[in-house]
Structure formats: C-alpha cells, structure tokens
Structure 1
Amino acid sequence: MSKLSIKAYTTDYKSRWDRFVASLNGIYKGSKNTSFLFHRDFMEYHQDRFEDHSLLIFKDEKVVAVLPANKVGDTVYSHQGLTYGGLVLEAEIRLKEVLEIFEAVLNFLWQSGINILEIKVLPQFYQELPGDEIDYLLFLTKATLVKAETASVIDYRNRIPLNSSRKSTFNQAQKAGLQIQKTKDFEPFWKQILEPNLEARHHAEPTHSLEEITFLAERFKYNIHQFNVLDKKGKICAGATIFETRPVAHVQYISASPQGRKQGALDLLFRYLIEEKYVDKWYFDFGTSNEQAGLKLNNGLQFWKETFGARTRVQRTYRVSTENAHYLKDVVL
C-alpha cells in the first residue's frame, strides 16, 4: 500500500521542487495548478524577510504535492511573500488523494507545534485544469474566510466589448504621438513613475525594489515583462509590469505621470496589451482594487478596469486550525 510522507523543504530538494512546479513552461508535466511564483528562485529573492516552512509531500518516493509556505510563531502562511498559494498538486491527482494529502499536512503541522494554516487560495482562472479541491477541504475542516479581494478579469473566451470612453482616449493618445516600448530596463518606470506616484499617493513603496524586479526578470525572462509609453520626445509617461503565466497575463504594476494620464497613455497601452499582445491568453487579470484587506473598494480604479471589459472574480484567504484534520477522517464513503 502506498504511503504518504512529508518533508520540510531544504536546498537539497531544490531541483525536485523546481521540476515539479515547472510544467508552467511545458518542461515537465508535474503540477496542474502551478505558477512561476512557486519556483524556488522566485520564492527566495526575499528570503531574508520570511522564515521558510515549505513542505514536500511524497507518495512512496514520488513528489505528489508541495506547499509553498513561511512561518510566523505558531502560524504557517502559504505564502506571505506570494500573490497566492496553497497546495500545488500533481496534474492527474484525484480528490480522494488530495483529501489524504491535506489531512496529512494538517497533522504534520499540528505535531510540529503549528496551530493555524492560512492559505490565499490560487484563483480557479489561474489553473490549467479544474482544481477546487482545496476549497472543498477548507469547508470540511471548518476554515474561516478572513479576506476576500476583487480581481478584475477579462475572459477572452467570452469578451465584453471595450467601452466607448476608452476608444476616445485611445484616439487622443494616438494623436499625441505616444509610442509603446517593451524594454528590459525597469529603471525609468520604477524611478520616474512608479515610486514617485506610490510615495505621493499612499506613502508606500512597490512590493519589489528595482534591484529585485530586475533580478527576477533576468531569471524569469518569459514571465516578467515591462511595457512603457513614451511621448514624442522619447520621455516615459506611463508603464505596466506584466507577470505572465500560461493561462493568464497579470498586471503587477501600473502607473502614469500627470502628462501620461492627461494624454490617455494607459488607454493606449492597455488596448495594445489586451487586444494584441495577450489576445491568445485565456484571461487578462488587472489585479485587485481593494484596500484594508478587502474591506474597502477603490471604485474609480475598479470602474476604469471595467471599461476595458473586465469583470469581478474573488480571491479568498482562509485560516484553518490544524487540529481540525480529524474532520477529514470519515468523509469518504
């Protein structure tokens, strides 16, 4: 009879971990709900900020799931340094096996002195195969919903037309002679647009420093892309940073100068990204428009995204007590 075993991640497992999550680029048919964010090189760019507590789940000697995670006190998060997390599962795994794996993970954490597991669930539209097993198991283990954020998403298989207001500002940008540039140089956008705007509006900094985003883009050149908008004189006036997975183009950063906003630079850029560059994707994800852990909605930002045809999907974060593993004991008839 096959037996599950769980190992805490160490660098000795790096190659096995990365092979398992690498199906994103068609390199290896490992996991069905993967992302380049789960690659160890991405997870560890900010390892000084987090105490890693990632797990590998084996069936006999084969990796069947991994849990990207970090630890704070008696709580494990999957993962505070990532946009989403949860169990990354083998492509052909079945529900009963996932139930057994989740039960084993909760028991392992409980026996290790961890009382709470918090998971920011990977949204279904990021998954290449149906993969809502974890949602069902969180229900069974009486998990608590602690955060709900609204992502604005375009479904390319069921498009909503561009709003007429976007067409007029697009024409305005064209008349102003604005040009779109794809570049490997993140510095102009970071230093001239993004950082000044975040500081002025929110007294905040980007999640990734210029050094970090440059480092990551060098290692994930097929996934991280920078698009800028230049005025007639070649000066940057807007830009967007895209994180690309196989099914989704996700807007990680977006910002414009006062001149760029006035001339419709972002309308020009996003019409290109949506209708030309990423038209072969399944989804275009503008990201969330929430503040205060989802309790507040930035309506102006939400409305702007919706005028491109985006509509709402919800990204949920749950907390489950690890002692609740026993609720999974007698589920299967």
Structure 2
Amino acid sequence: MYTITPYTKDHFSQWNEFVAQSKNGTFLFHRDFMEYHNDRFEDYSLIVFEGKNPVALLPAHRVEGAVYSHWGLTYGGLILGNKIKLSNVINIVKQLLQYLHENGISKLHIKAIPHIYHKVPAEEMEYVLFLANAKIIRRDSLAVIDNSYPLKIAAGRMEGVKKGRINKFKLEESDNLNLFWNDVLIPNLQKRHNTLPVHTLEEISHLKNLFPHAIKLFTVWHNKGIAAGTIIFETETVAHAQYISANDDKNHTGSLDFLYHEIITTVYAGKKYFDFGISNEQQGRKLNEGLAFWKESFGARTMVHDFYEVETANFELLNNVLTGNSIRV
C-alpha cells in the first residue's frame, strides 16, 4: 500500500508543505529548523508515500544500528495528515518497522509529540507502539497551564509581581538576543548548573531570523540592563518556554515573577496551552523540586512526555491486528 523513501533535499518543499498541513506537526519539523545542526547527526528521516502523495513523515537520525526521533528536537514520532485513520497508521508503522529491519536497523526510538501540540487528536502512533510491544524507557513531566481552565496564581508569586510593579518593570518583546545570551543566560547556567544553553547565540539568532513569528524573546529591564528574560517557542496550540533566566536579585526585585505573570496573563492568555517544559534530570528519574514548585505556583500542572523503544523485528506483531469485521451503526 505504501512506499517508504529516505528524505533528500529534493523533498524539501514537499516535506515542509506536509508539516504545515499536518495534524500534529510544528515548526520544529520544518527542514530549516532540523538542519541548522545537521553536522551533528546522520539524518535518517523517512517519507511514507501513498502513490505520489506523502501520508506520514518520520523525522529521525541514525546511530549505528538504531534510528532515533531526532535528538535535536524536543519531540518526534510520526507526522500525520488530517485525513489518516488508525488502521492506516497500523499498516504504516508495520511497513516502517519492516523497512528498518530489512535495512539493518534493530531498534527504533521514539519520543512522542505531547498531545498539547496536536491540532486535532493524533495519538495513533502511541497505540501502535503498544501493539508492537514497545517499552517506555523514559518519562518526563511537563508543567502545563490549560487556559481553558486556569488555576489561581499562588500568593507567593503575586508578591513577586507586586515587587516588579514597584520597580516599574515593563514587559518588552526584544530582538537583543546578544545581551540576554551573554549577560544573563550563559552566566546563570554556568554558575548554577555548570552548563551552556543547548543553542549557541549564533544558532538561536539564525533560527529566530528564520522563524520570527514562532521564536520570541521577552525581557524586563532594571538599571539599564536585562533583569529577566525568556525565549518562547510558539506553535498553533502552545506557547513553550524554551529558556528562562534572571539576575541573582530576582527574588528582591520580583523580575522573573513579573515577567511570567505578564506573559501568561497578557501575551498568551488566548493560547490554548502554556508549557513551562520539564523540571527533570537524569532521563526523567529525578525532579528539581524547587523549579517544579515555581512553575506550579503559576497554575501549571503535570502532563507526561513519553519516550519509547521498539524492536524493529516486532513488525510481525502487527500482522493480525486488523480483524476486517464490518460494523454498521
């Protein structure tokens, strides 16, 4: 029924058009976003065709005998068209696993797309992974605000907001990535975690230029410098906090509480979800309690992000799943 083809640059426009029209794709799957770090990964993205038309995409890369949902992306899995049905996805995954198995790939690793990023329900892949005896090998916890049922912001956070108002902070959307990266974000990450941002300044600047309506920097200023800032990745259904950072005096000035109060209650009040991201460490096995508490104080609650591993030889388990029975209603 389907033809599986490795992605090449000849598919650039076709791939991006499918992502834009899909039910669970976001700008992270645009090839311009995926390929800003293509020197780090051996791309193994696949396109599933029905005739001449793509019906599913698998953004992925290869490491020896395994294929992974792209490590350079927060989430992955199958990108699906709006019209596709569950029975089709069962057959697609069966053929994908068989294709990988026949090409020397023993395992497929999938980090699912959290359902808050779906434009319409799109968890067919997760169901088929269950049928194929996939194992959950990691589970992260996302702190998410559902704006259709917002919870009251905690009094402790509102105290910080009051301090920010006393300091006459104003929220600004800014293009000054250089100042935020070098004066706030990098020093804080090095001091507190002995690490660096996932993106270099050059990379995030490049991506922001490519996707100016999806990647945004918001800041508040104090004494002619950035007191706090955040990078937001915006999709159709979600505003996601990619980076959060503030100066050491944030508790005294209320800079970070003020920043996020304004973002949540003003800028993105009409967005379906606000995703603070994870507070996990060690592949989901540890939780940064203080960070999680801060996010929950704004009304965020927990959703899980699952990572799967499946043996490609398990394609045979999908042979007899569809019964063929016809039921009229």
Q: Normalising by structure 2, what TM-score?
A: 0.97
Partner of 1:241: 231
1:96 pairs, out of 83, 87, 93, with: 87
Cα distance between partner residues in 1 of 2:72 and 2:160: 36
Q: Provide the C-alpha distance between the structure 2 equivalents of 1:67 and 1:118, rounded to a whole number of angstroms.
A: 11
Partner of 2:149: 158
Contact 2:3 2:48 in 1 (8 A): yes
- 1:258-273 mapped onto 2 (5 Å cutoff): 258-273=248-263
Establish whether residue 118 from structure 1 lines up as the match of residue 116 from structure 2: no
Of residues 152-161 and 179-188 in structure 1, the stretch that sits farther from structure 2 once superposed is 179-188
Aligned counterparts of 1:168 and 1:198: Cα–Cα separation in 2:
25
Q: Give the aligned partner of residue 327 of structure 2.
A: none
Deviations 1:94-137 (A, max 9, x none): 00001111111111111110111001100111101111111111
- For residue 321 of structure 1, what is the aligned residue in structure 2? 311
Tell whether 2:97 aligns with 1:106.
yes
Instruction: Select the residue among 12, 15, 31 that pairs with 1:17.
Output: 15
1:305 paired with 2:305, answer no
Partner of 2:194: 203
Give the root-mean-square deviation of aligned CA atoms: 0.8
SS at match of 1:308: coil
AA aligned to 1:6 is I
Matches within 5 A, 1:166-245: 166-231=157-222, 233-245=223-235
- Is the Cα–Cα contact under 8 Å of residues 109 and 310 in structure 2 kept in the other structure? yes
- For residues 102 and 261 of structure 1, the distance between their equivalents in structure 2, rounded to whole angstroms, comes to 50
Matched, 1:46 2:29: no
Report the Cα offset of residue 177 of structure 1.
2.1
SS at match of 1:49: coil
Question: Are 2:269 and 1:279 aligned?
Answer: yes
**Structure 1, residues 225-245: CA drift from partner, whole Å, max 9, x if none?**
0011101x3211110000000
Q: Distance in 1 between matches of 2:57 and 2:85?
A: 15
Amino acid at match of 2:279: S
Percent of paired sites with the same residue: 45
Which amino acid counterpart does residue 259 of structure 1 have in structure 2?
D
Deviation at 1:178, TM superposition (A): 2.0
Number of aligned residue pairs: give it. Answer: 323
Deviations 1:51-99 (A, max 9, x none): 0000000001111000000000101001111000000001111000011
Distance in 1, Cα, partners of 2:46 & 2:183: 40
Q: What is the match of residue 33 of structure 1?
A: 24
1:259, CA displacement in angstroms?
A: 2.1
Rounded Cα–Cα distance in structure 1 between residues aligned with 2:102 and 2:83: 29
Q: How far apart in 1 are the matches of 2:92 and 2:81?
A: 11
2:244 corresponds to: 254
Structure 1 position 261, deviation (Å): 3.6
Preserved CA contact (<8 Å) 2:163 2:252: no
**Residue identity matched to 1:302:** A
Mapped contact 2:172–2:220 kept (Cα < 8 A) = yes
Decide which moves more: 200-209 or 45-54: 200-209
The answer as to whether partners of 2:139 and 2:283 remain within 8 angstroms in 1 is yes
Distance 1:294 1:263 in 2: 32
SS in 2 for 1:179: coil
Say yes or no: does 1:58 pair with 2:56.
no
Q: Is the 8 A contact 2:160 2:251 kept in 1?
A: no
Determine helix, strand or coil for the equivalent of 1:182. Answer: strand
In structure 1, stretches of 5+ residues that fail to align are 23-29
Is 2:71 the partner of 1:80?
Answer: yes
Cα deviation digits, residues 167-223 of structure 1 (max 9, x gap): 111001110122222112211110011111111111111010000000000000110
Q: Residues 135-181 of structure 1: CA distance to partner in whole angstroms, max 9, x if unpaired? A: 11111111111100000000011111111111111001110122222
| Structure 1 residue aligned with 2:326 | none
